[in-house]
Chain A
Amino acid sequence: MNMKFTRTICAIAVCIATCLGIVSCDSKQNDPELKYRQQILNAFVYANDMAEDLTIEYLGANYDIIYDFIAGTADVTIQGLRLPGNKQYPTITLTAVPFTIDDNGSRVLEGSNMPVAVEGFATAPVFSAFKLTVADRYFTNDYKLTPNISEAKYYSPQISILFTIDGHYRVVSSLPGQVFTGTTVTTDSEGKSFSNSDPTYVLTLDMETKTGNLTINGAKFIQNMPEMTMTFPNIPFTVSNNGTVTLQKADPIIPTIGGTPFSAFPISNFKAVYTLTTGMTLDFVCTKKNQETGLSETYSVSADLPFFDKN
Chain B
Amino acid sequence: MKTIRTIVYAVLLCTGSSAAMSPAQPGEREPGQAAADSLVDGHLLLRQVEVEGVKQTVRSDAMAATDISQAMVNRLGITAAKDVGTIAPNFYMPDYGSRMTSSIYVRGLGSRMDQPVVGLQVDGVPYLNKDAFDFDIFDIASIEVLRGARATLNGRNSMGGRIIVNTLSPWQTEGFRALAEYGRLNSIRGGLGWYGKLSESLATSVTAQYSSENGARRNVFLDRRTGDSRQADGRWKLSWRPNTWLSLTNTASLSDSYQDGYPYRHLTMPDIAYADTCSYRRTLFSDGLTAVFAGKRMVVTSTTSFQYMSDDMRLDQDFLPDDYFTLRQKRHETTFSEDMFAKGSRGDYDWLGGVFVFSRSTDMHAPVTFKDTGISKLIEAHRNDVNPEYPIEWFSRRFTLGSDFTMGNTGFALYHQSTYTLGDWTFDAGLRWDIERASLSYHSYCNTGYRTWHILPDGQRELYSTTPVDINDSDRLGRTFNELLPKLTVTWRRPWGSVYADITKAYKAGGYNTQMFSDVLQQRIMGIMGIGMQYTLDDIVGYLPEKSWNYEAGIKASLFSGRLDLSATAFVIDCRDQQLTVFPSGTTTGRIMTNAGRTLSRGLELTAGYRPVEQVQLQAAWGYTKATFRRFFDGINDYRGRRVPYAPENTLFVNALWIPDFDIAGIRPQLDMNLRCAGDIYFNEANSVRQPFYAVLGSSLTFNAAHWSLRLWGENISNTRYMTFYFVSIGNAFVQESRPWSIGATLKVRF
Pairwise interchain contact A1-B475, C-beta atoms closer than 8 A: no
Q: Which residues of A contact B475 (CB under 8 A)?
A: 150
B536 part of interface (Cβ distance < 8 Å): yes
Interface size classification for chain B? 20 to 34
Output the least CB separation between B396 and chain A (Å).
19
Output the least CB separation between A145 and chain B (Å).
11
Q: Which residue of A lies closest to B468 (CB)?
A: A3
Compute how far the CA of A257 lies from the CA of B452 in the bound complex, rounded to whole angstroms.
Answer: 12
Please judge, given known A-B contacts A259-B467, A260-B465, whether A227 and B386 are in contact too, CB under 8 Å.
Answer: no
Compute how far the CA of A228 lies from the CA of B527 in the bound complex, rounded to whole angstroms.
Answer: 8
Q: Which residues of A contact B533 (CB under 8 A)?
A: 226-227
Pairwise interchain contact B530-A257, C-beta atoms closer than 8 A: yes
Compute how far the CA of A295 lies from the CA of B465 in the bound complex, rounded to whole angstroms.
Answer: 30
Q: Which residues of B contact A263 (CB under 8 A)?
A: 387, 389
A48 part of interface (Cβ distance < 8 Å): no
Pairwise interchain contact A1-B536, C-beta atoms closer than 8 A: no
Pairwise interchain contact A148-B537, C-beta atoms closer than 8 A: yes
B387, B524, B538: which contacts A262 (Cβ < 8 A)? B387
User: Which residues 254-268 of A sit at the B interface, judged by CB distance below 8 A?
Assistant: 256-264
Pairwise interchain contact A229-B530, C-beta atoms closer than 8 A: yes
A205 part of interface (Cβ distance < 8 Å): no
Compute how far the CA of A262 lies from the CA of B529 in the bound complex, rounded to whole angstroms.
Answer: 12
B385, B465, B524: which contacts A148 (Cβ < 8 A)? B524
Q: Which residues of B contact A259 (CB under 8 A)?
A: 452, 465, 467, 530
Compute how far the CA of A150 lies from the CA of B541 in the bound complex, rounded to whole angstroms.
Answer: 13
Please judge, given known A-B contacts A226-B532, A260-B452, whether A150 and B524 are in contact too, CB under 8 Å.
Answer: no
Please judge, given known A-B contacts A260-B390, A263-B389, whether A226 and B531 are in contact too, CB under 8 Å.
Answer: yes
Output the least CB separation between A216 and chain B (Å).
10
User: Which residues 104-146 of A sit at the B interface, judged by CB distance below 8 A?
Assistant: 142, 144
Q: Which residues of B contact A229 (CB under 8 A)?
A: 527, 530
Pairwise interchain contact A228-B389, C-beta atoms closer than 8 A: no
Pairwise interchain contact B530-A230, C-beta atoms closer than 8 A: yes
**Quick one: which of A142, A148, A150 has the most chain B CB within 10 A?**
A148
Q: Which residues of A contact B216 (CB under 8 A)?
A: none
Compute how far the CA of A256 lies from the CA of B528 in the bound complex, rounded to whole angstroms.
Answer: 13
Compute how far the CA of A227 lies from the CA of B526 in the bound complex, rounded to whole angstroms.
Answer: 10
Q: Which residue of A lies closest to B385 (CB)?
A: A291
User: Which residues 503-539 of B sit at the A interface, judged by CB distance below 8 A?
Assistant: 524, 526-534, 536-538
Pairwise interchain contact A257-B536, C-beta atoms closer than 8 A: no
Compute how far the CA of A147 lies from the CA of B536 in the bound complex, rounded to whole angstroms.
Answer: 8
Pairwise interchain contact A261-B536, C-beta atoms closer than 8 A: no
B385, B388, B465, B528: which contacts A2 (Cβ < 8 A)? B528
Pairwise interchain contact A258-B385, C-beta atoms closer than 8 A: no
Please judge, given known A-B contacts A147-B534, A150-B475, whether A262 and B386 are in contact too, CB under 8 Å.
Answer: yes
Output the least CB separation between A293 and chain B (Å).
15
Q: Which residue of A lies closest to B464 (CB)?
A: A260
Pairwise interchain contact B534-A257, C-beta atoms closer than 8 A: no
Compute how far the CA of A261 lies from the CA of B454 in the bound complex, rounded to whole angstroms.
Answer: 10
A218 part of interface (Cβ distance < 8 Å): yes
Q: Which residue of B lies closest to A149 (CB)?
A: B473
Output the least CB separation between A115 and chain B (Å).
52
Q: Which residue of B lies closest to A142 (CB)?
A: B536
Output the least CB separation between A214 and chain B (Å).
14
Q: How many A residues face the partner with a CB closer than 8 A?
A: 23
Please judge, given known A-B contacts A148-B537, A150-B536, A227-B532, whether A264 and B527 are in contact too, CB under 8 Å.
Answer: no
Output the least CB separation between A198 and chain B (Å).
10
Pairwise interchain contact B534-A150, C-beta atoms closer than 8 A: no
User: Which residues 224-258 of A sit at the B interface, judged by CB distance below 8 A?
Assistant: 226-230, 256-258
Q: Which residues of A contact B532 (CB under 8 A)?
A: 226-228
**Per-position contact with B for A209-231: 1 when CB-CB < 8 Å, else 0?**
00000000010000000111110
B390, B467, B529, B534: which contacts A227 (Cβ < 8 A)? B534
Output the least CB separation between B670 and chain A (Å).
63
Q: Which residues of B contact A261 (CB under 8 A)?
A: 387, 389-390
Pairwise interchain contact B387-A260, C-beta atoms closer than 8 A: yes
Compute how far the CA of A260 lies from the CA of B537 in the bound complex, rounded to whole angstroms.
Answer: 27
Q: Which residue of A lies closest to B471 (CB)?
A: A148
**Quick one: which of A229, A258, A261 has the most chain B CB within 10 A?**
A258
Q: Which residue of B lies closest to A220 (CB)?
A: B533
Q: Which residues of B contact A2 (CB under 8 A)?
A: 527-528
User: Which residues 364-398 of B sit at the A interface, judged by CB distance below 8 A?
Assistant: 385-390, 392
Q: Which residues of A contact B473 (CB under 8 A)?
A: 148
Q: Which residues of A contact B537 (CB under 8 A)?
A: 148, 150
B385, B387, B465, B467: which contacts A257 (Cβ < 8 A)? B387
Pairwise interchain contact B527-A147, C-beta atoms closer than 8 A: yes
Please judge, given known A-B contacts A150-B537, A259-B465, whether A264 and B387 are in contact too, CB under 8 Å.
Answer: yes
Pairwise interchain contact A144-B534, C-beta atoms closer than 8 A: yes
Compute how far the CA of A98 lies from the CA of B452 in the bound complex, rounded to whole angstroms.
Answer: 55
User: Which residues 81-110 of B sit at the A interface, judged by CB distance below 8 A?
Assistant: none
Compute how far the CA of A274 lies from the CA of B533 in the bound complex, rounded to whole angstroms.
Answer: 28
Q: Which residues of A contact B530 (CB under 8 A)?
A: 1, 228-230, 256-260
Please judge, given known A-B contacts A148-B473, A148-B524, whether A258 and B534 are in contact too, CB under 8 Å.
Answer: no
Pairwise interchain contact A258-B528, C-beta atoms closer than 8 A: yes
**Per-position contact with B for A1-21: 1 when CB-CB < 8 Å, else 0?**
110000000000000000000
Pairwise interchain contact B531-A257, C-beta atoms closer than 8 A: yes
Output the least CB separation between B393 and chain A (Å).
13
Pairwise interchain contact A228-B531, C-beta atoms closer than 8 A: yes
Compute how far the CA of A147 lies from the CA of B528 in the bound complex, rounded to whole angstroms.
Answer: 10
Compute how far the CA of A263 lies from the CA of B527 in the bound complex, rounded to whole angstroms.
Answer: 19
Q: Which residue of A lies closest to B532 (CB)?
A: A226
Q: Which residue of A lies closest to B391 (CB)?
A: A260
Q: Which residues of A contact B389 (CB under 8 A)?
A: 261, 263-264
Compute how far the CA of A258 lies from the CA of B527 in the bound complex, rounded to whole angstroms.
Answer: 8
Compute how far the CA of A291 lies from the CA of B533 in the bound complex, rounded to whole angstroms.
Answer: 21
Q: Which residues of B contact A147 (CB under 8 A)?
A: 524, 527, 534
Compute how far the CA of A226 lies from the CA of B526 in the bound complex, rounded to whole angstroms.
Answer: 10
**Per-position contact with B for A144-188: 1 when CB-CB < 8 Å, else 0?**
100110100000000000000000000000000000000000000
Query: 10 A-B pairs, CB-CB below 8 angstroms?
Result: A1-B530, A2-B528, A148-B527, A150-B536, A257-B530, A258-B467, A258-B528, A259-B467, A262-B386, A263-B387
Q: Kindly list the 9 A-B residue pairs having the minimum CB-CB distance in the complex, ordered from nearest.
A: A258-B530, A257-B530, A258-B529, A147-B534, A229-B530, A260-B390, A262-B387, A1-B530, A147-B527
Contacts beyond the supplied A150-B538, A227-B532: 6 A-B pairs with Cβ under 8 Å:
A1-B530, A147-B524, A226-B533, A258-B528, A259-B467, A260-B530
